[in-house]
Each structure stands twice: as structure tokens, then as C-alpha cells.
Amino acid sequence: MTLEVCITVERGTFSLDVNIACGGVTAVMGPNGAGKTTLLRACVGALRPSRGRIVLGGETLFDERGIDQPPEDRHVAYVPQGLGLFPHLSALENVAFGRRRGTDRERREAAIDLLGELDLAGVCDRLPGELSGGQQQKVALARARAAEPRLLLLDEPLSALDPTARPRTRRFLAEWFEETQLPALVVTHDPADAVEFAWAVLVLEGGRVTQHGALEEVAVRPSTEFVAALTAGLIDRPLGSVPPPSWISEDE
């Protein structure tokens, strides 16, 4: 399934301009204020673009000429940095809530299985406020998976995890993506995430796409110093492939 995004989003003095087509998993990277979260919020329907259109698998989710599907009809799972867990529901209830089909018992069983896959079987009955930041992050990921979405949007999904938990959760995501062939946009600052599960890398700087392509291609021919620093050490570069300082894009 292909996601096509050709939009302009204007927020005060900041403008995001994106024109991409991607399938599989795309790691969205860039400095703070580059527009990464804005892109995700536009795709899920939480933010209306000023113009353009968004198409998922041939279905138009947004078009400036009069189409703007509400978030609940887009079948897009979004895990923001704030996670969005319901504070009055247990971890199990949060995950079961994300399941759209099946009986209450089937939804609970599916939730138990998902939490078990993330080593959270022992916290099913705890409220989010009783969980560590890393545990909350995993519950949010499990709820996103429970929703069986057509598109997954993750904003720094591993940021709250400690170094020992991060590799296992990264592998969980990689196996999920491989199993479902689910298109996804994953905002991350860690190149290891792109190495592990991303098919492509999208780099935003100052609201503009400065590079988009396979990780190997981006690493070999970085278009800006930011991209060169980001991918340093991932691959051997030919001499002269790193751009001069004058090529650096301005941030927001």
C-alpha cells in the first residue's frame, strides 16, 4: 500500500511543504522544529493542510477541493510523543479499546497477547500513572497494533525506553512491519531505528524535504551537513560525497 502526501501546512511563520510517495516503513528524521510531528498530525487528520492532498492505497483522505475524512474514518493509528493513553483505564483496557472488531472477550484476549509480546503481562491491571515511562510507551504501541490500522504513525516510539529495553522493542516493531507489510511513518532521531526496520529515510529541514530515499543512498550521498552527520558511520562514503557547509538547510 502506498501513501502519497503532497501538502502545504502553514502555522504562523512556519510552513511545511512535502511531496512524497512511500510504501513500507519510512523513518522521518530531522532537527527539532523541522516539521516532523506536523507531517504526522496532518496524515492522521488532527491538522488540516492549507492545500494539497493525502492518498492512502488509492483512497483520498484529504483533498483541498473538498475531501477531509475525520480521523476515526481514516483507519490510521497514531502514537504521539505524549502517548495519548486514557488515564482512567488499565493497560489492558487501553489496548483492548484500540481493537475495533470482536467480542469483549476476544478483544481482551488479543490485548493480553499483545501486552505479553512486549513483556507487559504483569502490568495488565495497572493504570498508566502507575507505569514507568517505558511501560507506557509499550502500552501505546500495543494499542496501535490492536487497532489493525492501514497506516501507522509513530512519533519517537522508543524515546522513553531505557537502553536495555530499546533493542527488544525495536525488534518487535521490525517483526510487526515485516509480518503486516504495513506502511508507516516513524519519527526518530536514532539512525539505528532506520537500520533495523525502515525501508526508506525522509529528512526534513526547515519544513522542506532535503532528502528521501533508501538509507544506503542517503548515507552515500548526503545532501546537507545535517544528513552527513546523521548517517556518519553507517556506511563508507566516497571522497567528496559530503556537501560543503553552505548546503545546510535553515531550520524553523
Contacts of 161 (CB under 8 A, 6+ apart): 134, 137, 138, 169
Query: 57, 80 in Cβ contact below 8 A?
Result: no
- 46 versus 159: the higher-pLDDT residue is 46
CB 135 within 8 A of CB 111: no
Tell me the per-residue pLDDT of 64-92, one tens digit each, with 9 for 90 and over. 999 999 998 999 999 888 778 899 999 99
Task: Give me the percent of the chain exceeding a pLDDT of 90.
Answer: 54
How far is CA 220 from each of CA 19, 93, 188, 232, rounded to the nearest angstrom? 23, 46, 20, 10
Q: Which percentage of the chain shows pLDDT scores above 70?
A: 92
pLDDT band at 234 (very low <50, low <70, confident <90, very high): low
pLDDT at residue number 246? 42
Give the residue carrying C-alpha cell 509480546: 117
Residue 125: strand, helix, or coil: coil
3-state secondary structure of 35: coil
Q: Phi, psi (5° rounding) for residue 245?
A: -55, -30
- The rounded distance, in Å, linking the Cα atoms of 211 and 159 is 23
Q: Where are the domains of the chain?
A: 2-75+149-247, 85-148
**Cβ atoms of 228 and 243 closer than 8 Å:** yes
Cα separation, 20 vs 18, whole angstroms = 6
Domain range 2-75+149-247, CATH class: alpha beta
Q: What is the pLDDT of residues 142-178, one digit of tens each?
A: 999 898 899 999 998 888 778 888 888 888 888 888 8
Task: State residue 5's pLDDT score.
Answer: 97
SS3 annotation, 127-175 = CHHHCCHHHHHHHHHHHHHHCCCCEEEEECCCCCCCCCCHHHHHHHHHH
Q: Which residues contact 163 (CB under 8 A, 6 or more apart)?
A: none
Q: Is the pLDDT of residue 242 over 70?
A: no
pLDDT (tens digit per residue) in 7-45: 999 988 999 999 999 989 999 999 999 999 999 999 999
